[in-house]
Structure 1
């Protein structure tokens, strides 16, 4: 796989299908890898240029002892665009990957992005005390600050991987294909605790609600009825982003946070239609 080095000396690995037209850059979630999108490399990659990469601390990219903040990951995204010489790209962020793109937009605007796809990410993961009950519901908060602290402590404890595995398991409902589950668990092993725990805390502590109305490019928001992320929170995002489109996958098509793995044909069709 090709690599590039960030301005703080971290080597990141990426894949690029090549081809013409506006490239689609896929940004994976916390603890996962670019391998999550192997179906999209072959599926969406039939019609367009598709680029994936392992974020720092993940997959086969370098795992330094610094930089585990969403703002730094957003800078890494920009430097990938720089390395590839891309003045324009479509961005797809899944889970924490959506937070990375929101952070990028917050700091750099949308000048280099043509279209945006947000996949199953709450506007705020942890409910902070100053949120009203309605705001906590709208944001899609999964737990409160105390719950976030408890999760981080468990992941950093002697049975850390068991806590990580239980957290991932909570993202599935219904009957999970054993092959999909085994793949997810295997990939998450690549992220060491010293990287994953502080990054998860930083990711979950962010509140992106003020960024949403300032997104001025065509946006598609994707959710799933069977995910641990409430579809109502995805409707809220689509209502806050000007003229955004919304698609919720029913449980007859997928039943987890990992729609692109469970049902790549359905997922790719929706994304492909939006990108045009």
Structure 2
């Protein structure tokens, strides 16, 4: 298994850093969530035994540049396209966790699915903000977790947060009960590497999106992963899978993981679910060919 760290310049002049591990097999891109980094997926290195695994720090996150522009989901989707161009990826699997899932939906909306072999969505609602024109049933089923005024207030608080304490408390709320101290210390440390005021701009843009119209247009094998103990309702992940043609769903019980971070809490169980899905996708393609 080979591993390398590289960087590239996006079409709007921002340098992003990535890790490229493994070699043979279909490339798998892992996309992190808001306020986090590619290091979140250190427990997924085992997936590189059978495929090429690529992780990237989005702009404003981790070791990538922290410019003052481009903090919107559509620009992050363009950055994903730029990365696939840089690495000459004409066909790849992609996993998006939390905000990373929204980046995938935006990518599909802008560029289609031609380069995608399969899609894995991890613990992300189709709509974050419960806007007034959604019915109560739509708000509940789609997994909207914040009222619109709550999203505005949260973004404002984070924009004004000079110590990082508000951001840390927000992410801490994504764990049910008391997280493993080592896991939480790692997550908290990664949070500190995110650009401050710009992260609030990104959070507001991310939270204001509604991807329900994209879901029926997804025409690639899709796995949706949720977790009973997450702040994202597990039923919202079942709702996603019901609206994506032929999608599969896997919900981790609280005995396996109980947070928004199942890949950190139980990497072996998480990796097994992902690996089995990707093997099924590969077998299906072999049969078709």
Asked if these proteins are the same fold (TM beyond 0.5), I'd say yes
1:2, 1:13 within 8 Å by CA — same for their partners in 2? yes
Deviating above 4 A after TM superposition, structure 1's stretches of 4 or more consecutive aligned residues are none
- Pick the aligned partner of 1:2 from 2, 6, 17: 6
Q: Is the partner of 1:239 in helix, strand or coil?
A: helix
C-alpha displacement at 1:21, in angstroms? Answer: 1.7
Instruction: Give the counterpart of 2:25 among 2, 14, 21.
Output: 21
1:64 and 2:41 aligned: no
Aligned partners of 1:154 and 1:160 also within 8 Å: no
Structure 2 distance, partners of 1:262, 1:240, is 28
Native 8 Å contact 2:24 2:50 kept in 1: no
Aligned pair partner of 1:118 in 117, 121, 127? 121
Note the C-alpha offset of 1:158. 4.6
Query: Per-residue deviation at 1:264?
Result: 0.2
- Matched with 1:193 is 196
Gaps of 5+ in 1: none
| 2: CA distance, partners of 1:94 / 1:268 | 14
Map of 2:208 onto structure 1: 205
1:124–1:141 Cα contact (<8 Å) kept = yes
Contact 1:174/1:226 (<8 A) preserved: no
What pairs up with 1:42-57 in 2 under 5 angstroms? 42-57=45-60
- Computed over aligned residues only, the root mean square deviation of the Cα atoms, in angstroms, reads 0.9
Structure 2 stretches lacking a partner, 5+ long: 280-289
Residue equivalent to 2:237: 234
| Structure-2 change in CA distance of 1:31 and 1:158 (3 Å) | closer
1:159 offset after TM fit, Å? Answer: 5.3
Moved more, 186-195 or 62-71: 186-195
- Secondary structure of the residue that 1:111 maps to in structure 2? coil
Q: Secondary structure at the match of 2:164?
A: helix
Partner SS state of residue 173, structure 1: coil
Indicate the residue corresponding to 2:34 in structure 1. Answer: 30
* 1:273 matched residue in structure 2: 276
Is it true that 1:222 corresponds to 2:222 in the alignment? no
Partner of 2:134: 131
